[in-house]
Every structure is written in structure tokens, then in C-alpha cells.
């Protein structure tokens, strides 16, 4: 059994002005993040992908079990196979699995079952959640898996955006085909598929507005 071993915290205390400047600069940069569905074939330097995944790995996780695997795909034939399988599932969803209410919610996004971005993007990152750990033949219980992986994906998207790359979060349903195509072990389940690259020339995005802070934040007590 592993024991608690405390070590000194490394923490840089910033001047209040520097704190606010960094916070505002990050907010302004993230305000420009948009989901992209048309990608250029221009290659992306792999270190940007590796750095983003390493950043994602700094996320907090239940019992520090880090229950995630990031599978990076650039092979054109494998991307083609992933697209074909994803489009088959999406076609079935759009043609009957989805309720009228769901389709209505998607209408402003202009989406359909066609997913060319899977092949067009320089890379596809498929994030898998580890439902449980494996130590030889022994299963190890993992705690707060989906919450942990969700936080890691948020850091991944932010890192890729800060690096000047475009992304899309795609969750074809069901996603079991991804584990088969990518030869993942039995304890891993696909969480999200993320095409990554540069936007195609002339790329457009839906005309959408984000909720204002007054609708997403509730405050109890004094504000410092």
C-alpha cells in the first residue's frame, strides 16, 4: 500500500497586477476559441500535440489515478477508416436515433452525418477513459473517471488553442468502434474524438453567442 509522502509546494505568488493581467490575457485568447469543421491539409508540428497532451496530463484526477489515454492518429488510411465508421453511426443517428428535439437543438450548428474533418485534419486525438486500472490480471478500481477525463480534455483544448491550432470535439454515438480500430485494451472506453489542425481557407463557423457571466455565475458573500 502506498503511503502519503508530503513534499514542499512550489508556488509562485504573483503581484496582484500581474495576476489580473495574466487572467485577462488568457480570457481574451480563449474568447476566440471556436469549434472548426473544415480543416486545412497543412501539417502541424508534432511537438504542439505532444505538449498539449502533456499539459492535459497535469489535470487533477480522482485518487491521482490519471485514468486517461490519448491516442494520436495521423495515418491517412486509419483516419479514413475512422471516418467511415463514424459516418455510419452518425447516419443512423440522424436518420432515426435522434429525437426531433435533439435535431432541433443541433440545427443552428449546421451539422449532419458527414464528417470530412476526420480525414482533413492533420491529427485526430482520440481520448479514452480508463474505466478501471490493470495490474497484470488484477483489476484496480478507478474513482471519478469521467470527471477526471473531462478536466483533462478541457486543458487539452485550451493548450491546443493557445498554440494556434483549431479543434473540434466529436462524440459519435455509439463509439465502440474506436476501441476496435485503435486496438485499445478492454479497460479503455472512447470519451471524445478531437480533430486538430489549421482551419481551411475560407472556413466559416456558426453565428453563435456565449452566455454572459450574469447567467453562468452565482456569488454568495463578499467579492474581494
Buried b (16+ CB within 10 A) or exposed e, 170-180: bebeebebbbe
Q: How far is CA 152 from CA 55, 103, 148, in A?
A: 8, 29, 6
Query: CB–CB of 109/168 below 8 Å?
Result: no
Task: Quote the pTM value.
Answer: 0.95
Domain boundaries along the sequence of the chain: 44-199
Report the pLDDT value the prediction gives residue 223, as an integer from 0 to 100.
87
Q: How many residues does the chain have?
A: 224
Please, are residues 36 and 205 in contact by the beta-carbon 8 Å criterion?
yes
Would you state the cell numbers that stand for residue 30, as one nine-digit string? 480563449
Evaluate whether 89 touches 177 at the Cβ level (below 8 Å): yes
What is the separation of C-alpha 142 from the centre of its chain, rounded to a whole number of angstroms? 20
* Residues in contact with 102: Cβ distance below 8 Å, sequence separation at least 6, in sequence order: none
User: What is the torsion angle, in degrees rounded to the nearest 10, for the CA atoms of residue 43, residue 49, residue 50 and residue 53?
Assistant: -160
Q: What are the pLDDT tens digits along the chain (224 aa)?
A: 789 999 999 999 999 999 999 999 999 999 999 999 999 999 999 999 999 999 999 999 999 999 999 999 999 999 999 999 999 999 999 998 989 998 999 999 899 999 999 999 999 999 999 999 999 889 999 999 999 999 999 999 999 999 999 999 999 889 999 999 999 999 999 999 999 999 999 999 999 999 999 999 999 999 88
Q: How far is CA 219 from CA 16, 210, 212, 214, in A?
A: 21, 20, 15, 10
3-state SS, one letter per residue, for 100-131: HHHHHHHHHHCCCCCCCHHHHCCEEEEEEEEC
What does the alpha-carbon distance between residue 91 and residue 144 come to, in Å, rounded to a whole number?
A: 32
Q: Indicate the DSSP class of residue 39.
A: B
Superfamily of domain 44-199: NADH Oxidase (3.40.109.10)
Contact 138, 45 (CB under 8 A): no
Amino acid at each position: 500500500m502506498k503511503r502519503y509522502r508530503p513534499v514542499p509546494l512550489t508556488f509562485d505568488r504573483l503581484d496582484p497586477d500581474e495576476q489580473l493581467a495574466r487572467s485577462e490575457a488568457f480570457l481574451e485568447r480563449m474568447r476566440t476559441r471556436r469549434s472548426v469543421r473544415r480543416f486545412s491539409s497543412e501539417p502541424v508540428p508534432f511537438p504542439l500535440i505532444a505538449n498539449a497532451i502533456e499539459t492535459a496530463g497535469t489535470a487533477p484526477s480522482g485518487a491521482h489515478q490519471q485514468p486517461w489515454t490519448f491516442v494520436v492518429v495521423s495515418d491517412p488510411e486509419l483516419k479514413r477508416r475512422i471516418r467511415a465508421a463514424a459516418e455510419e453511426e452518425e447516419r443512423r443517428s440522424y436518420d432515426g436515433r435522434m429525437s426531433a428535439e435533439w435535431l432541433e437543438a443541433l440545427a443552428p450548428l449546421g451539422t449532419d452525418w458527414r464528417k470530412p474533418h476526420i480525414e482533413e485534419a492533420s491529427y485526430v486525438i482520440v481520448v479514452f477513459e480508463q474505466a478501471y486500472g490493470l495490474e497484470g490480471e488484477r483489476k484496480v478500481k478507478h474513482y471519478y473517471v469521467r470527471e477526471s477525463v473531462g478536466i483533462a480534455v478541457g486543458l487539452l483544448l485550451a493548450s491546443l488553442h493557445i498554440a494556434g491550432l483549431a479543434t473540434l470535439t466529436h462524440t459519435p454515438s455509439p463509439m465502440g468502434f474506436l476501441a476496435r480500430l485503435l486496438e485499445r485494451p478492454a479497460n479503455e472506453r472512447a470519451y471524445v474524438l478531437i480533430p486538430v489542425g489549421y482551419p481551411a481557407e475560407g472556413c466559416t463557423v456558426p453565428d453563435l453567442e456565449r452566455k454572459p457571466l450574469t447567467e453562468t455565475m452565482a456569488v454568495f458573500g463578499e467579492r474581494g
